[in-house]
Amino acid sequence: MKKLVISKLFLYRYRFVIGFILLSTAYLGILFGLPLLSPAGISEAEMQSAASSYAVQLDAVFRGDIVDLPYRVLQKLSIMTFGLNIYAIKLPSIVIGALLGGLLILLLNRWFKTNVALFASILAVLSASFLYLAGSGTPLIMIVFWPTLLLWLGSKIQGVTKPKPMYCFVFAFALLASIFTPYMIYLAGFIVLFAFLHPHLRFTIKTLPTFPLVLTIFIIIMGLAAAVMAAFINPHIIAELLLTPDFSLAGFIDNIQTAFLPFFAWNTTLDSSFLSPFVGLASVALAVIGLLSTSKGFFASRNSIAICLVIFTIFLSGLNPEAAILILLPMAILIAHGLRYILAKWYDLFPDNPYARISAVFPIGLFLGIMITGGITHFLYGYRYIPIVADKFHDDIKLLEANLEAGTTIYVQDETKYNFYQILDQQGEYTVIQEIPEKADELPKHFAILGHEKVSASIERIITSPKSDNSDRIYIYTRQTTEEQKEL
C-alpha cells in the first residue's frame, strides 16, 4: 500500500491559498451586506457627510474646496446614481473598505510568514471595529486607508535590491493625496522624518535610482505647492486640515481620554458612536504579547513602525477623538507579532515532531473562531440594542420612502437634517422646506413634519420607529379648508 505523504495532498499544498480565498469571500460578503446588517440606519455625522458631498461642484479644486475631496466625489456619484438611501451613503466606505482590507492582507503577508499573515488578517478584517469603520458613510475610513496604502507601497520599495520606479511614483502620489484628508499632513511629515532617521530606510533612499527619486521629490513639491495655493484661495481649510475648532492644551488631554475610553472600556455608559469595547480583550492580549516580543528588535522597520504609529495615533486623537480609529493599523501589526511569537514558541517545543506541531491547529482554530464569532455578534447586536449607541442611528430616510408619496412637502427645522433632506428636493422627489408658515392658509393640503411641531392642521398619521427613544419620527398632516372648519 502506497504511503500517504501529507505534504503532497492538495488541501495541504494549497491550504493558504484556500484560506485567503475563503477569507476574501467572507469579508466581501459581509462588507457589501453591511447596510442591511448593523448599524441599521445612519448617524448625524453620515448625514453631514452626505450633504457636504452632494454640494461638491466641478470647480471645487479651483475654489480651494479640497478637504476630503476624493471621498466626497465618490459619495456624490453614489448618491446621484442610486438616490439618497442608506446603501448609497455607505457605498464609498464599503468600496474603500474592500481596498483597505486587501491592502492590510497584502501588508501582513509581506511582513510575516503566510500562516501568521492569514491568522492576523482574519482577526483584523473580521473584527467589529473594522466592520464599523467600513460601514460608516463618512470620510473617517480615509484616516486608516492612507497609512495602510503608504506602508504597503513602502514595503514594496524598502528591502528590495532594485525597487520598481512605478512604486516610487505611486507612493509619491498617495502621500500627496493623503494630505487633503484632515490631520494626514502630520502623517506625511512623520513618514518623511521617520525615513531620514531610521538607518534601514535611510539606506534604502540612498540606493534608489536617481531618476525616480528626483521625480518623486518633484511630485511631492508640486503637490505641496498646490495645497498652499488652495489654502491661499480658501484659508479656512487650514484649520480643517491641521487643527480642530477651539483647540487648547486642556482640550487636547481631554480628547485623548475621550478617544480611548470606548476602545477599552467594558461598560456602555460612554457617550460615543463607538461600541464599547471597541477592541476585544483577546485582541489586546495578543497585541501586548506582540509589543513585548518586538522590544529586542525595535530598530527593525516593521517593529518600530508599529510602535511609532501607536504614539502617532495618540497624538492625532488629541486633535480629534475620532482619529483614534487609526489604532486599528498598529493593532493589526502587533497582533501579527503576537501570533508569530506564540507559534514560534510552540514549534520550538516540538522541533522534530510533526504531529505535535500540527496539533496546534485545533486550539488556534478554536481560539480564532471564538474571537471572530464574538466580534461579529458584538457588532451585529450591539449597534442595534445597546441604547447609548443605537440611539445615534436612525432610519428616517426609509420611513419617508415607505410612507410618503412623491412630491409631498416636508418641513425640517433642524439645520443638519435640513441640509441632508435638501438632496431629496434637488432630486425632485419631495419639496423640503425649513420654515413652517405661521398662517394656516399657507400650509399645503397634505404635508409632513420631521419632528413634532404644533400646527393648525389635523394629524393624519404618526410614523414611528424603534430606532430612537422618541419613537415618533414623522407627523403627516392634512390641512382643513375654511369650509371644513365651518362645518365643524
Query: DSSP readout, 401-469?
Result: HHH--TT-EEEE-SHHHHHHHHHHHHTTS-EEESSPPSSGGGS-SEEEEES----SSEEEEEEE-TTSS
Q: Rounded distance, CA 488 to CA 485, Å?
A: 5
Peptide bond into 277 cis (omega under 30): yes
Spatial distance between the Cα atoms of 346 and 339, rounded to a whole number of angstroms = 11
pLDDT confidence of residue 145:
92
pLDDT at residue 76, as a whole number: 92
All three cell numbers of 58: 466641478
Task: Write down the pLDDT at residue 160.
Answer: 65
Nearest CA to 35 out of 331, 297, 383 is that of 383
Instruction: Give the ranges where 2-134 is alpha helix by DSSP (H).
Output: 10-13, 15-32, 44-54, 69-82, 86-111, 114-125, 128-134
pLDDT for 77 equals: 92
* Residue-wise pLDDT tens digits, 7-51: 566 666 667 777 778 888 888 888 888 777 767 788 888 889 999
Predicted pLDDT at 488:
44
Grid cell digits, residue 463: 410614523
* Alpha carbon distance 190, 315 (integer Å): 12
pLDDT at 366: 84
The answer to whether 409 and 447 are in contact (CB under 8 A) is: yes
What is the pLDDT, as a whole number, of residue 179?
Answer: 81
- Residue 432 CB contacts under 8 Å (≥ 6 apart), including other chains: 409, 410, 412, 418, 421, 422, 424, 425
pLDDT value, residue 470: 66
Residue 103 CB-half CA count within 13 A: 20
Q: Residues in the chain, how many? A: 488
Three-state secondary-structure class, residue 208: coil
Determine the pLDDT at residue 1: 47
| pLDDT at residue 173, as a whole number | 82
CA 347 vs CA 7, 338, 361, 366, 423: distances in Å: 18, 14, 12, 18, 59
Q: What are the Cα distances from residue 377, in Å, to 21, 79, 215, 271, 283?
A: 23, 30, 49, 21, 16
Please, are residues 327 and 291 in contact by the beta-carbon 8 Å criterion? no
Counting as low any pLDDT under 70, the low residues of the chain are 1-14, 38, 64, 159-161, 163, 198, 200-201, 212, 243-249, 264-273, 296-303, 353-357, 440, 452-454, 456, 467-470, 480-488
